[in-house]
Structure 1
Amino acid sequence: MCGRYALNTTATELIEHFQLLSCPEFGLRYNIAPASQIPVIRFKPDTGRVGQLVKWGLVPSWAKDPSIGAKLNNARGETVSEKPSFKTSFARHRCLIPASGFYEWQTVAGKKRPYYIHPTDGMFAFAGLLAAWKAPGGETLVTTCIITTTPNEVMVPIHDRMPVILEAEEYDAWLDPGNQDIEALKLLLRPCSAEGMTAYPVSSAINSGRVEGPECVQHVETGDGS
């Protein structure tokens, strides 16, 4: 799964890096938890790539109430095209979720040790899904989730899942709402290359969603050489 990540960059930097036409402002975040408002990237026909702030935790259009979003922060790549909660979004409403890095917890002697995993240069783009839910009062809630897959070589010692991280040359195919080639899209849901990716232990203080700031991504010594 992916339950925490960081995006310590600006809207201007996202616009430049992902070639966006626009992106709303947001604060630098080092410990983003589910239920947060987060920037995603989508493709608007006749317009192009744009940034949008949405809530992390997918609420399908057919849901009775938005509380289901607390259980739908992630979608497994192996079943995302089949599960009722995700299949419509997978076919029609895909997005990129930009990230500077993400956290995962390694179990060591029965205890959870947090790691920060990030690219050695630039940013990640997670494969994400979007959904729009209409409240009884008429308001529309737009939500997202992160698709996960099996681990690559960097992640194997840490956890058995990781986010699907897309390559730049895959962005257009993923974002295109007219692309409904389900089998081709499923081929993108694989572990990314471990090249250019690094991981190190960080403070367990990030276990609290209230902890923020650059200290979240600082390398800490574990006593075993990590």
Structure 2
Amino acid sequence: MCGRVVTSSTPEELAEYLGADEIVATLDGPDHNVPPTRPLPLVWEKSGDSKGSRKLGIARWGLVPSWAKDPSVGNRMFNARAETVTEKPSFRSAFKRRRCLVPIDGFYEWGPAVPGSAGNKQPWLVRRADGDPLVLAGLWESRSEEDSGTLRTCTVITVDANEDMAPIHHRMPALLPPSGWDAWLDPSSDRLKFVEALLFPAPTGLLIRHPVDRRVGNPRNKGAGLLEPVEVGAVVEDPPLWPEESR
């Protein structure tokens, strides 16, 4: 499950990192505690665009299927399981033609309480060990709303947890390596089995994590202080690389 993220990179930084040719919309600023229903940055390609033309914009987190009459259905569609994303009516159409990259700077997950601490769950901040953005596999939809114009929404795909995440939670967001970005974004690709094969747990050691203050449980708390480790034992490891980047 992935239900709370950090977005602190600037649009210009994300556009350069992800090779976006155009910035069409931006967030209001850094947000260190983004819950579902709030905007996330995303990169996509549209059918008919020239090959490799990528757009950086924003979308409300929580996919609203094209057939849904009530957009509030998206409030609970913030994750899609990789194992069923090609079958579920809510996601299968978007998986075929509307895949996107969702760049974030970290995400929070709640795991078992750390010995010696109060409470039942301990929040952890998870990020890349090398400091680069996490590029999540996502899907997007777009619809016209009478009162607000175009509503673009998105969801984040999840997979089984890797060894880094398993002590905290049994699921994690699907992270895409740079070598998979073109295929994932290509809306004309009919090699869906190949695209589906990109959805696997991140290599062990790619991520680092540390426990953070339980204030992160309230999405109204937004300060950068939420990112700081609390005194219950931070986890620090050497930064590894994606397999193809190490060659």
Query: If the TM-score is normalised by the length of the shorter chain, which range does it land in?
Result: over 0.9
Q: Following the alignment from structure 2 to structure 1, what is the Cα–Cα distance between the partners of residues 234 and 194?
A: 42
Give the match for residue 120 of structure 2: 111
Q: Does 1:219 align with 2:229?
A: yes
Paired residues of 1:81 and 1:182 also in contact (CA < 8 A): no
Deviation at 1:137, TM superposition (A): 6.1
Which residue number corresponds to residue 96 of structure 1?
A: 101
| Residues 88-142 of structure 1: CA deviation (Å, up to 9, x unaligned) | 0000100000011111000238711100010022111000000123336693311
Match of 1:175 among 185, 190, 201: 185
Match of 2:41 in 1: 39
TM-score, normalising length: structure 1:
0.94
CA distance in 1, matches of 2:234, 2:60: 38
- RMSD of Structure 2 on Structure 1 (CA): 1.7
Q: Shift of residue 155 of structure 1?
A: 0.2
Match of 1:9? 9
Cα pair 1:92 1:180 within 8 Å, conserved: no
Give the paired residue count.
225
Structure 1 segments of 4 or more deviating over 6 A? none
* Percent of matched pairs sharing the same residue: 38
Alignment match of 2:58 (pick from 37, 53, 60): 53
Give the corresponding residue for 1:25.
26
Hey, what's the Cα distance between the residues in 2 that align with 1:136 and 1:6?
Answer: 31
Contact 1:62–1:133 (Cα < 8 Å) also in 2 = no
Please give the secondary structure, in 2, of the residue aligned with 1:90: helix
1:120-131 aligned within 5 A:
120-121=129-130, 122-131=132-141
The one-letter code of the counterpart of 1:71 is R
Gap regions ≥5 residues in structure 2: 236-247
Determine if the alignment matches structure 1 residue 139 to structure 2 residue 149: yes
